[in-house]
Amino acid sequence: MRPVLVITHAPHEGPGLISRGLDAPLRVRTVLDLEDARLPALDEVSGVVVMGGPMDADDVRGHPGLAAERALLAAAVDADVPVLGVCLGMQLLALALGSHLHLRAATEIGFAPVDIDVEDPVLGALGTRPTVLHWHSDTVDLPPGATLLASTEATPVQAFRVGSALGLQFHPELDAGMLDLWLSTPDMVGELGDDEIEEIRAAGGRHLPGLVPAAEKMFAGFGELVRARG
């Protein structure tokens, strides 16, 4: 079986629970700061996963590899290759599909509900109003032709689908160990107070035991699409 391409932007923002749902080898690449960023051809992979990161999704001057990522995402949607974009990955997917990015438009950090309004074969495993981890300050408009799947009051576009591609602004890929990693990573918590960090840690203890099995089921659904491509 062809590998799944996983594009990362920060060492602490790996695929987490996503990898458990993929019955396929992973090919992890980080091309963020490469002027001559080269990513595998789509006929070499069974799916594409693009993870989060702290940079602005439109900062191609500062991070030239983002242009190659956007080009690959647009081509993957055209070729009906299974795509999953998380946080920054969703924003890159949206930009690749002609959407607009809004910087510092809505800061959401911590566990809070998200409204899932439309049935989706992958996202539907989370239910209709799960409490999930949010960690973003930028938002995107719904791309042309996309179906809006989830929203919050602060962030109207929390998830969308375009054909084979699913974008998620929130972070269902974390388990307790990955949350601990984030909460001990200065790049993640540098602007948070100790009380805010402990509040997120405590919320993780309450919500992750129920969220993780639902997220694993969701990512297994994405894995089925990947296996169908082979």
Side-chain-side CA neighbours of 17 within 13 Å: the count stands at: 23
The four Cα atoms 73, 74, 79, 85 give a dihedral, to 10 degrees, of: 30
In 3D, which of 98, 110, 66, 87 has the Cα closest to residue 173? Answer: 87
The answer to whether 87 is a known catalytic residue is: yes
CA 209 to chain centre: 20
Active-site residue (options: 87, 108, 134, 136): 87
> Cβ–Cβ contacts within 10 Å for residue 35, how many?
9
- CA distances to 5, 36, 51, 112, 201 from 64, rounded to whole Å, are 19, 8, 17, 33, 34
Dist CA 92 CA 75 (whole Å):
13
Dist CA 142 CA 133 (whole Å):
21
Active-site residue (options: 63, 134, 136, 171): 171
- CA distances to 44, 147, 150, 154, 194 from 119, rounded to whole Å, are 31, 10, 10, 22, 38
Task: Please give the single-letter amino acid code of residue 7.
Answer: I
Dist CA 216 CA 26 (whole Å):
17
Judged on CB neighbours under 10 Å (0-12, 13-18, 19+), 191 is exposed
The answer to whether 173 is a known catalytic residue is: yes
Q: Catalogue the active-site residues.
A: 87, 171, 173
